[in-house]
Structure 1
Amino acid sequence: MELFLDVLSESFVDTVKMLPFLFLAYLFIEYVEHRHGERIEAVLESSGRWGAIPAALLGCVPQCGFSAIASNFYASRVISLGTLIAVFLATSDEAVPLLVSMPAYWDKLVLLMVIKVLYAIAVGLVLDFVLRGVLPRSLRGGYTGNADEIDCHETHDDEEGHQRPIWQAALRHTLEIFAFIFLFSVLFGLIVEGVGEDVFADFLGQMGFFQPVFSALVGLIPNCAASVLLTQLYVEGALRFSSLVAGLCTGAGVGLAVLWRANPSWKQNLFITGLTWAAGAAVGVGIQLVVALVG
């Protein structure tokens, strides 16, 4: 009981310290979504075969459901496959506000976002230009749909139809992620204290070359808990930076879940899911190899 109370107390104090940063981050995200959401969709719709560039830049902004918007657009043939994958790879779900809440990791956050955006652009352009002739026509996506026909916006209205202030939505997100982080911190602390920090670190360390591959699989889980888990494991020292990048490249939030619901072809959905995983694992392994060579 004493061990549990110690872990509970330490986890609560560490998590409470993040609250101001988390709230400010979500306040900014909500502002962008409310004021510029339709403009962002218009940019994505009109970008054509070069859509991977704005998709990667916009996808790195962790606004609510952006990957879901891209999935709906792809299912309705408003955007191409390369644009969709660029959004998925650039999206980091809850990892950005979580790392923003930790000033000691701001340099890693900048490096993470630069890598993800450049990699997302590269993969998207390769799919839409280099491999376009190889891919089946039905898989390439297209520009025959119309964004006006798709309702992608998350409702922020109350029961009477009045729009809630953005601070309320930001506060709700902050408290939800606070609960995720606190529960994970307690669970992680109990595991580490129970089995020993060295044993737990050795388990993940023994994955070696396969750690980014494992992280990329975790990232595919269509829930914000996946990105919280990966980020917390990295902060605790259990995951390498290369594995964090791999997991967050595949961590497209609810994007894949929406794709499976909105796109009627299960074969296309399976291919896109596998492609997202492969792309995430590849960049993680690549970073790992570069670090090994340089070191």
Structure 2
Amino acid sequence: MEFVLDVLLDAVKDTLVLIPFLFVTYVVISLLELFAGDKAASAIQRAGHAGPAIGAVLGVIPQCGFSAVGAMLYADRFVTLGTLVAVILSTSDEMLPLLVAEHVDPAVLGRILLSKAAIGLVAGFAVDGVLHLLGRGELAEPESFEAEDSEGDDFDPSQYTCDCGCGEPLTRGQAVVWVLINSAYRTAQVVAFIFVVTLVLGGLIEWVGEDAISAFLSSNAVLAVFCSAFVGMVPNCAASVIVTQLYLDGALGLAPMMAGTLVAGGAGYLVLFRTNENARQNAAILGLLYAIGVVSGLVILGLGL
């Protein structure tokens, strides 16, 4: 009983200290979504065959659902497969808020984000290059993005329609309320995941022993890369939470963490299967992304980073 109580209290303590940092981070992310999210998606759509470069760069911007937008645009062939690959690989999902909340060295955080963007860019153009050689990958005629600002660079928040399900333009006051509610909801959702993951990991560490777990993962670094990438494929933000938390706890090294978070497309995978009717093609895309994540992890491991 004492064992269970100790693990429970440790999980509660470790989770509570993250709440203010997560909430502030999600407020910033929500503001980015409100003022720049649809413009970023519109820029990717208009990029055409240069999409992988735009997608890799804009994918670094912390915003939830970017992979879902990429999947929808790809299903209608407004972007290339390489662009979709670049967006998913560069998007951090829940990784960035967790790293920020745990006060990870900004230099380390910057290298992780830049590495994800670089891998996304290279992989995206490589995919499009291969498809071009095979005579595939035609794009549909570009259309104006629904939420694009028709007045140019001047942006009026009162004319913005957010992804709140109401379908109506927001006033400034409604926008503030949406940001706060959205941030609180996503903070609560991630905190719940973190608590469960921390509770399970804490119990496992106490039961098996931290030294034994560290020794196993250290001696099976290649296996850790494969397993981490597999977890990252789970179509839920819990995937990136689990992988990132293991990295922060020291149970995973940089290589398996990168492998897992590179392929952590979250809801984007669900949207892909719902909007793109070719199930075999969707399965091939998932296999491709998994392979890229594993190879990237193995390369990082081989370089000793």
Aligned letter for 1:216? A
Q: Which residue of 1 aligns with 2:143?
A: 146
- Structure 1 residues 14 and 47: alpha-carbon distance in aligned structure 2, compared to 1, 3 A threshold: same
- Cα distance, 1:39 vs structure 2: 1.1
Determine helix, strand or coil for the equivalent of 1:93: coil
Residues 76 and 145, structure 1, Cα contact 8 Å, conserved in 2: no
Runs of 4+ with >6 A deviation:
none
- 2:38 match: 38
Change (3 A) 1:70 1:165: same
Query: Which residue pairs with 2:96 in the alignment?
Result: 96
After superposition, what is the alpha-carbon deviation per residue over 1:253-276, rounded to whole angstroms, capped at 9, x for unaligned? 111111111101112111111110
Amino acid corresponding to residue 214 of structure 1 in structure 2: C
Mapped contact 1:78–1:147 kept (Cα < 8 A) = no
CA distance in 1, matches of 2:145, 2:101: 36
CA gap 1:106/1:4 in 2 versus in 1, 3 angstroms? farther
User: Which amino acid is 1:59 matched to?
Assistant: G
More deviation, 101-110/179-188: 101-110
* 1:114 alignment partner, SS class: helix
Shift of 1:147: 5.6
Distance 1:141 1:242 in 2: 35
Tell me if the contact between 1:68 and 1:254 (Cα under 8 Å) persists in the aligned partners: yes
Superposition deviation, residue 157 in structure 1: 4.3
- From the superposition, tell whether residues 290 and 175 of structure 1 become closer, same or farther in structure 2 (CA, over 3 Å): same
Amino acid at match of 1:229: I
Q: Distance in 2 between matches of 1:222 and 1:206?
A: 29
Most deviating of 222-231 and 183-192: 183-192
The answer for the alignment partner of 2:84 in structure 1 is: 84
Question: Percent identity, aligned pairs only?
Answer: 35
Change (3 A) 1:107 1:15: farther
| Aligned-partner Cα distance in 1 for 2:253–2:166 | 41
Corresponding residue number in structure 2 for 1:202: 215
Q: Following TM superposition, by how much is the alpha carbon of 1:154 offset from its aligned partner in structure 2, in angstroms? A: 3.1
Q: Is residue 2:257 matched to residue 1:244?
A: yes
**1:276-287 superposed matches below 5 A:** 276-287=289-300
Return the letter of the residue paired with 2:113. M
Tell me how far apart the structure 2 counterparts of residues 180 and 192 of structure 1 sit (CA, whole Å). 18
- 273-282 vs 172-181, which moves further: 172-181
Distance in 2, matches of 1:42 and 1:174, equals: 27
Q: Say if 1:42 and 1:260 are closer, same or farther in 2 by CA, change over 3 A.
A: same
Contact 2:19 2:191 in 1 (8 A): yes
**What residue in structure 1 maps to residue 15 of structure 2?**
15
1:29 matched to 2:23: no
1:71-220 superposed matches below 5 A: 71-128=71-128, 130-135=129-134, 137=136, 140=137, 142-144=139-141, 146=143, 148=145, 154-155=163-164, 157=166, 164-220=177-233
Q: Secondary structure at the match of 2:93?
A: coil
Unaligned runs of 5+ in 2: 148-160
Bigger drift between 141-150 and 173-182 goes to 141-150
The 3 A distance-change label for structure 1 pair 274 and 264 is same
Q: State the SS of the aligned residue for 2:131.
A: coil
**In structure 2, what is the Cα distance between the partners aligned to 1:76 and 1:280?**
25
Partner of 1:233: 246
When the two chains are superposed, the root-mean-square deviation of aligned CA atoms in Å is 2.4
- Seen in structure 2, the aligned counterparts of structure 1 residues 105 and 155 have a Cα distance that, compared at 3 Å, is same
For 2:74, the aligned partner's letter is Y
CA gap of 1:198–1:100, structure 2 versus 1, over 3 A, is same
Letter in 2 for 1:288: L
For 1:255 and 1:136, how far apart are their aligned partners in 2?
26
Deviation at 1:119, TM superposition (A): 0.9
| Matched pairs, number | 288
Measured after TM superposition, the shift of residue 71 of structure 1 is 0.3
Amino acid at match of 2:20: P
Matched with 1:289 is 302
Letter in 2 for 1:184: V
Note the alpha carbon deviations across 1:96-146, whole angstroms, 9 max, x for none. 101110114443322210100011011111222x31334462xx2514353
Please give the TM-score of this superposition, normalised by the length of structure 2: 0.87
Q: Measure the CA separation in 2 of the matches of 1:266 and 1:135.
A: 20
Give the superposition deviation at 1:236. 1.3
Pair 1:59 & 2:59 matched:
yes
TM-score normalised by L of structure 1: 0.90
